[in-house]
């Protein structure tokens, strides 16, 4: 997208006299066909860490854009306040759903660790290596009254049809790559220099090195 296209999109409906400049940079609410591009344990300079998954949009207006979903299994906030059970339940089900789509069982045992960092690292290792899955990422955005520039975003997943894998056998290969092909193989008679009387030896004093 050119700078002019970006300006046209960003200024559409924007009132420079009253609207705030800062806005959320993630995907707007909607359903997106995406490819899972990264699954890992993420740690930040602030000291906060999480279980992270990256989704790249495969089609539509936002094709090529990456949405980073970072979820935590910490039971208390930095201030010591308990994280509501519904948030932890949602995060657990997100990990389990992702695992199911990837063909990996995520059970209650995967959350039986002493702290959230161990859980994040464990899930990152368990699901890593299964990138490439196509899935529908459902993005829900809700306003944040305390900080309008940072709305609440939640995610869900739906299965998506996977591309068919190409199955090739020897008959599908070009004749020169097919070991069972009847095509003739090169022989000494095919050597264009086989019957040449020319001496192609290069004298030592004409070599490009000592």
Q: pLDDT tens, position by position, for the chain (210 residues)?
A: 555 665 676 677 766 666 655 444 689 999 999 999 999 999 999 999 999 999 999 999 999 999 999 999 999 998 999 999 999 999 999 999 999 999 999 999 999 999 999 999 999 999 999 999 999 999 999 999 998 888 899 999 999 999 887 666 666 666 555 666 566 666 666 665 555 555 555 555 555 555
Instruction: Give CA torsion, residues 126, 132, 137, 141, to 10 deg.
Output: 80
Domain ranges of the chain: 27-159
- For tokens 């199911």, what's the residue? 100
C-alpha separations of 154 from 21, 125, 198 in Å: 23, 24, 77
DSSP the chain: --HHHHHHHHHTT--TTTS-S----SPPSEEEEEEEEEEEEEE-TTS-EEEEEEEEE-SSTTTT-EEEEEE---SB-TTSPBPPHHHHHHHHHHHHHHHHHHT----GGGG-SSSHHHHHHHHHHHHTT-TT-EEEEEEEEE--SS-TTS-EEEEEEEE-PPPPPP---GGGS-TTT-TT--SPPP-GGG-TTTT-----PPPGGGSS--
How far CA 12 is from CA of 2, 16, 17, 128, in Å, comes to: 16, 11, 14, 40
């Amino acid at each position: 997208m050119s700078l002019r296209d970006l300006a046209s999109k960003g200024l559409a409906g924007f009132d420079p006299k009253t609207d705030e400049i800062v806005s959320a940079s993630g995907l707007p609410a909607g359903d997106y066909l995406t490819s899972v591009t990264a699954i890992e344990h993420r740690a930040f300079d602030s000291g906060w860490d999480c279980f992270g998954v990256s989704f790249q949009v495969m089609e539509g207006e936002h094709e090529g854009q990456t949405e980073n979903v970072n979820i935590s299994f910490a039971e208390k906030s930095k201030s010591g306040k308990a994280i509501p059970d519904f948030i932890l339940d949602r995060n657990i089900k997100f990990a389990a759903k992702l695992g199911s789509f990837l063909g990996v069982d995520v059970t209650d045992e995967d959350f039986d660790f002493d702290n959230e960092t161990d859980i994040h690292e464990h899930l990152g290792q368990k699901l890593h290596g299964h990138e490439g899955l196509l899935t529908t990422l459902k993005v829900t955005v809700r306003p944040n009254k305390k900080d309008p520039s940072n709305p609440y975003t939640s995610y869900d997943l739906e299965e998506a049809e996977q591309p068919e894998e190409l199955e090739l056998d020897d008959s599908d290969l070009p004749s020169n790559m097919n070991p069972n092909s009847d095509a003739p193989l090169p022989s000494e008679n095919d050597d264009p220099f086989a019957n040449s009387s020319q001496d192609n030896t290069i004298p030592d004093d004409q070599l490009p090195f000592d």
